[in-house]
Structure 1
Amino acid sequence: MSYIIECKKLQRTGLILTFFGGGLLAALIPVLNMAFRSEMYITQNEPPLQILFDANWQIMAMLNILLIVSGACALYHIEYGDNAIQKMAALPLPGNRIFLGKCLVLTVLATLMLLPEILSLVFCIYYWFSGAEILNMAFYREIFAGYGCLLLLMLPLILIALLIASTFRNMWISLGVNIVCVFIATMLPTNNFALSLFPFALPFQTLAGTDGRRVIGFMICAGVEILLIGIAEMIYRNIRRCFE
């Protein structure tokens, strides 16, 4: 029920078209890069998927992060704008229903955003590389596994962005805090595992060509971060009720 209500609220934000359009914009990056500089990449010895991720994912991830941050702030802005969040807090409903509903909505939007980006990488491999990988089922297993990993690494970002957005009534403050965290993430060294676990830095990880143990480490740490951020949201919600 909460999810249905959140979906109806999306009509007031235009986030569905925004996320899908943002996904298409990010999907154009590897296509344009290969169209103008294909000779730089087709001669490399690494697997095509790793080449494309290494060449394009940083800017694609930046667009994805900015979309998620903006979407999180917009989702809570419509609650604070008409004092709806205070009214819903007075209802006999679980306190975390609003937060969980928005997490689910933003996760679905992120899934929608990632789909054209992954398809553009498949197209680039088929058109500019040998194309033999397209006929191999192992290639599709790698694509689906990579898609799931990228989505999992985005979940801590989704939760922390929503937590920050729920903290401030003014949307511009929450947006500013999120943007500062994004810039901090861009300055962190990507080869440092501990610093890469910063929720705003996790989506920059490509994982293509990465050691399997390191990938499993990222997945486990992402799950732990999701749990910790969820606990932090419950603690913050109970503290906020004491001062409202």
Structure 2
Amino acid sequence: MHRSPTAETEIGEELTVERPGLVAGYDRELPGARAAVLTRLWRALAHEPLPWIAGRERVRDGLVLRLSDGRMLDGPPSDPYATAAYVSAVRLDGTSYDHPARLVTDLAVPHGEAFAAELAHSVASLALSRADRPPSPGTHPNEWPATDWEWEQRVVDGHPFHPNCRSRPGFSVAEQLAYGPEHRPVVELGLLPVPVAECLVSGEWPSELRSGGGLLLPVHPWQARHVLKRTGAGEDGRTGEVGGAGA
């Protein structure tokens, strides 16, 4: 499931309903998010072995990529290890592109349409994540977090090299705010009864996670709702049943 290239607008409209206080921050973060994702994309184009890139040439002020169809794509020198968002635009046959999704769309390469949709979502979701980060300085103490999950909550930008660092296709704004670790939620897992015969278990399964002839498997609420098609949970946190396991 992919969002359309208008993901920025769609997320902005959803945000107006779900968390209006973040709208101004989201709008401010969009240019930086575009540059951050474009930088990751440019790094990949500059260094990955892609079949539709016929050649690469370093020039005095940047890098030129020669595409297999004869077009030329040029941009700044690419540092394979830099993590700062230093690419604000690249040029395809002289036309400037500051949005990675529009660039990939016009490159018209195999699987480009789906990739462009994910890039658009990555930009919009990254802007949302940055808009909701805690104010600094002093928000995070210098000492190590008390719990392991606090480490993940501190990672706002996602993978520093992957263009789809914040792509979450299929997630609404409400779901990103409810489940994205950088938004600092507390997510309660449900319990799903599954017959023992349908489980492959290594080691001893905890007795408190057994029910009759089945095992109780922890399930993320998003997966329960969208993958297993179960909504809500009982007082014991169970989301429903799979196979013949009883409650």
Larger radius of gyration: 2
Normalised by the length of structure 1, the TM-score is 0.28
More strand per residue? 2
Higher relative contact order (CA 8 A, sep 6+): 1
More helix per residue? 1
